[in-house]
Amino acid sequence: MSGVAGARGVTTQGREGIEPFLAAAGAVLDVRAPSEYAQGHIPGARNLPLFSDAERAAVGTAYKQQGRQAAIQLGLELVGPRLGQLGEALRTAQADHGGVLRLHCWRGGMRSESVAWLGRQLDVPVLVLEGGYKAFRRWVLELLDQPWPVQLLGGRTGTGKTDLLLALRQRGVAVVDLEGLAHHRGSSFGGLGLPPQPSNEHYENRIALELQRHRQRGAQQIWLEAESAQVGRCRIPAGLWRQMQQAPLLEIQRPLEERLRQLVAVYGGQDPVALRDATERIARRLGPQRTSAAVEAIDRGDWSAAASQMLDYYDRCYDHELARHGAGDQRRLLGSHDLGHLSAEAAADQLLGSGCITASAA
């Protein structure tokens, strides 16, 4: 590292660029205001705000109206009473995680340097991100536009694509779970029972770090689920989406009864009111008869019957995409595999055994 020693050879004076900063051991502390952190942050970072949102706004106003010195003086008055609390948070973070305490603000300027100064007084090893979160975002966007060895796993609704990808990941296959990172399963029902979705900015951050991790491990294939351009409210980054449009696709198939069983397993325990609302959101596409039949089935607790009404619509959407894939689309269809009633784990073993999917070299 540039000018750093102590914990992992780190002094208390260091600044680093994105990749060495991310590779260092220890906690990442984002000292921006809570609203900045909520909009998007380095995945895994904890928020230790130097200023609240209101305080940040007040300091910014002072800077614009009275100048730099007035803003610094106000900042000192606001932070002064909390120095002991901030110092204890720094010591605790370093004790919990070891290594160097990695700090950043928006541009890598006064906020992160102020907290770094406090850490140095407490003999806590610190490292500041050169250029701050702004530089990280620039790195993310550049990374997402780079070429990736993308391969797609496709299949109709209910074929268990996500569970299969997760089983493949456990077996050493490079996988980016676009739905898991978005906290959404990709359909009108996709958000039921899941945490709130991240901002689109933070979704991009998550995807970028996953891709970079696979590159560092030497992955020759990176498997993603074939998705629409949006996963709930999260939009797949444009550069990656363009590559997905041309990526080879492996289709998996399962019998109708197995697909219904999988859908019941995922959605059968959800709130019936939420299921009804999600059904009514796609009423125009389902048509009045199928919508009515699905809603009646939900009301009587027969999710299998409800799901069978919706599969007709989702199957038509999938068939349309697959036809486009085979006629005029630049992607290659790698073939189709009927997985029958195999568990996700057994299906993953079968695909790996067939040689159409390979584990990462690392």
Greater pLDDT, 9 or 168 = 168
Annotated catalytic residue: which of 105, 234, 317, 356? 105
- In which domain, by residue range, is 236 found? 147-354
Q: Is 356 one of the catalytic residues?
A: no
* Residue range 301-333, pLDDT digits in tens: 898 898 888 888 888 877 776 666 554 445 577
Is residue 299 within 8 Å of 276, Cβ to Cβ?
Answer: yes
Domain count, the chain: 2
Q: Are residues 23 and 137 in the same domain?
A: yes
Q: How many Cα atoms are found within 13 Å in the side-chain-facing hemisphere of 69?
A: 0
* Residue range 215-270, pLDDT digits in tens: 999 999 999 999 889 999 999 999 999 999 999 999 999 999 999 999 888 888 88
* Residue range 33-55, pLDDT digits in tens: 999 999 999 999 999 999 999 99
For residue 4, being part of any structural domain is answered with no
For residue 313, being part of any structural domain is answered with yes
pLDDT band at 1 (very low <50, low <70, confident <90, very high): very low
CATH number of the CATH domain containing 112: 3.40.250.10
Distance CA 23, CA 17 (A): 10
Q: Are residues 180 and 115 in the same domain?
A: no
Give pTM, 2 decimals.
0.89
Q: Are residues 170 and 319 in the same domain?
A: yes
Q: Are residues 153 and 214 in the same domain?
A: yes
Residue 79, amino acid: V
* Residue range 90-139, pLDDT digits in tens: 999 999 998 899 999 999 989 999 999 999 999 999 999 999 999 999 99
Q: Are residues 155 and 247 in the same domain?
A: yes
Distance CA 119, CA 92 (A): 11
Q: Are residues 125 and 153 in the same domain?
A: no
Q: Are residues 51 and 190 in the same domain?
A: no
